[in-house]
């Protein structure tokens, strides 16, 4: 394996191992020794890639932000309200299945450190963009303010994530489908059209692949 | 001051000081020395009341749970959907203004310790009770499942709290009023009646006072 690719791979393993530790124990308790051991690399290799624990946390947040950005991006050919429902399902799925995304969101709310990225805010901005598209193309009901709609959608998913900390069922696709069946008839301009929108998650089609080798499992 | 009352007061100051520390730094980083110093009591007095930091965290959670229970309780004379809107405003106000409640919710989601109480779950159960009352008395629309309604309301407030960690404006009464203007016409059985419901927070009337002297400010 070329030297550069090996370095990228080692970095990816460290980010994943750090995400697991941060998600399980929080930033303050997570130990660099455990993180490097679980990544299968030496303490020296960890410090070659990351100056300290804060640098690791920042890398987890940045990787989570990038994964969320990719997952909630939808081609403009998808109707705006469907894209909105799909985006919420995509994030819910990531919070359920991807420890890097889950840890990224937890790190942003971890009182033992400050967060520069703010994943909840990034998610809200993505929702705002989709709601504004629905407002612009007339598919959003004129009776509902776009800002209240975006706030409600963004908050609901984050709230399900908060409830899921003690019961993962809150991040099931069924919970979110129920939310959409409740909300869509209220926010869609055309009730008939809204009945055609899919409240269930879209089938996973893989989506655009990562640009560089990304480690998604430590294979332990 | 009688000895027992003094002990209750000291305990209250310690719980408040601990809440401030947990809210600011998280459970793992918060220091018992700082907590006792900010409460104006000796380390010995702290250990007389609380065996360790976990006992303090449990006390903060228990006090938060009790305050939330008092704040979201509404007399049955208030229409169920109005009681639901009022309860969400009451919790939002507490999350904004009462560091004990805010710390209690944060402690429940703090990965560096487990939580026995689960304030988000307690809040969801309160919402379920109010939604079931609206379902039973016919004020909830037959077109919306009570469980989806309760999940959406419970999650929205928790989501606003998550967003508020970097911008307190998310816990303003205006944000929540916008949510209710969006949701109420969808969940109310009678659209005319729903227009009469108050989406803004009820005027604060004080509510039932605490049974024992409760310290709400360290007066520093």
DSSP character at residue A17: H
Distance from CA of A78 to the nearest CA of B (A): 24
Which residues is A188 bridged to in the sheet? A140
Query: What is the percent of chain B with per-residue pLDDT over 90, rounded to a whole number?
Result: 74
* A42 falls within a domain: no
Question: How far apart are the C-alpha atoms of B19 and B13, rounded to whole Å?
Answer: 10
* B201 falls within a domain: no
- A179·B29 Cβ contact <8 A: no
Q: What is the DSSP string of chain B?
A: --HHHHHHHHHHHHHHHHHHHHHHH-TTT--HHHHHHHHT--HHHHHHH-SSHHHHHHHHHHHHHHHHHHHH---TTS-HHHHHHHHHHHHHHHHHH-HHHHHHHHHHT-TTS--SS-HHHHHHHHHHHHHHHHHHTT-B-TTS-HHHHHHHHHHHHHHHHHHHTT-GGGGSHHHHHHHHHHHHHHHBS-HHHHHHS--SPPPP---SPPSS--------
Mean pLDDT of B160-187: 94
- Asked whether B35 and B14 are in contact (CB, 8 A), the reply is yes
What total number of domains does chain A contain? Answer: 1
* B124 falls within a domain: yes
Confidence (pLDDT) at A75? 82
pLDDT tens, residue by residue, B60-109: 999 999 999 999 988 888 999 999 999 999 999 999 999 999 999 999 88
* A171 falls within a domain: yes
Q: Does the beta carbon of A188 lie under 8 angstroms from any beta carbon of chain B? A: no
* B206 falls within a domain: no
Confidence (pLDDT) at B219? 53
Residue A192 belongs to what domain range?
60-196
Q: Does the beta carbon of B108 lie under 8 angstroms from any beta carbon of chain A? A: yes
User: Which of these, B153, B146, B46, lies nearest to B90 by C-alpha position?
Assistant: B153
* B91 falls within a domain: yes
Question: How far apart are the C-alpha atoms of B55 and B50, rounded to whole Å?
Answer: 6
Length of chain B: 220
Confidence (pLDDT) at B198? 87
Q: pLDDT grade, residue B113 (50/70/90)?
A: confident
Confidence (pLDDT) at B212? 42
- A120·B161 Cβ contact <8 A: no
Residues in chain A with CB shorter than 8 Å from the CB of B148 are 178-179, 181-182
* A216 falls within a domain: no
Residues in chain B with CB shorter than 8 Å from the CB of A195 are none
Distance from CA of A6 to the nearest CA of B (A): 32
User: Which of these, B141, B211, B192, B199, lies nearest to B173 by C-alpha position?
Assistant: B199
- B182·A179 Cβ contact <8 A: no
Q: Tens-of-pLDDT digits for all 220 residues of chain A?
A: 788 889 999 999 999 999 999 999 999 999 999 999 999 999 999 999 999 999 999 999 999 999 999 999 888 889 999 999 999 999 999 999 999 999 999 998 888 887 667 899 999 999 999 999 999 999 999 999 999 999 999 999 999 999 998 899 999 999 999 999 999 999 999 877 777 888 888 764 444 444 344 455 665 4
Question: How far apart are the C-alpha atoms of A163 and B60, rounded to whole Å?
Answer: 19
Q: pLDDT grade, residue B4 (50/70/90)?
A: confident
CATH no. for residue A89? 1.10.357.10
3 state DSSP class of A74? coil
Q: Does the beta carbon of A104 lie under 8 angstroms from any beta carbon of chain B? A: no
3 state DSSP class of A188? strand
* B214 falls within a domain: no
Mean pLDDT of B141-169: 96
Say which residues have a Cβ less than 8 Å from residue A15's Cβ, sequence separation at least 6. Answer: A56, A59, A60, A63, A100, A215
Residues in chain A with CB shorter than 8 Å from the CB of B124 are 163
Residues in chain A with CB shorter than 8 Å from the CB of B102 are none
Confidence (pLDDT) at A114? 73
Confidence (pLDDT) at A211? 39
- Asked whether B118 and A113 are in contact (CB, 8 A), the reply is no
């Amino acid at each position: 394996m070329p030297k550069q690719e090996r370095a990228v791979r080692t970095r990816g393993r460290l980010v994943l191992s750090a995400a697991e530790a941060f998600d399980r124990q929080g930033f303050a308790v997570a130990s660099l020794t455990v993180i490097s051991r679980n990544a299968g690399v030496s303490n020296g290799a960890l410090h070659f890639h990351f100056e300290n624990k804060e640098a690791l946390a920042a890398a987890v947040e940045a990787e989570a932000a990038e994964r969320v950005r990719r997952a909630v991006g939808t081609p403009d050919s998808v109707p705006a309200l469907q894209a909105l429902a799909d985006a919420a399902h995509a994030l819910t799925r990531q919070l359920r299945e991807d420890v890097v995304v889950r840890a990224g969101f937890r790190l942003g709310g971890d009182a033992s450190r400050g967060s520069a990225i703010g994943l909840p805010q990034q998610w809200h901005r993505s929702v705002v963009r989709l709601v504004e598209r629905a407002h612009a193309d007339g598919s959003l009901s004129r009776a509902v303010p776009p800002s209240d709609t975006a706030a409600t959608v963004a908050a609901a998913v984050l709230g399900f994530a908060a409830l899921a900390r003690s019961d993962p069922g809150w991040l099931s696709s069924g919970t979110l489908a129920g939310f959409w069946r409740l909300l869509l008839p209220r926010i869609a301009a055309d009730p008939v059209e809204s009945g055609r929108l899919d409240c269930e998650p879209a089938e996973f089609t893989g989506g655009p692949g990562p640009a560089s080798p990304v480690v998604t499992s430590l294979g332990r």
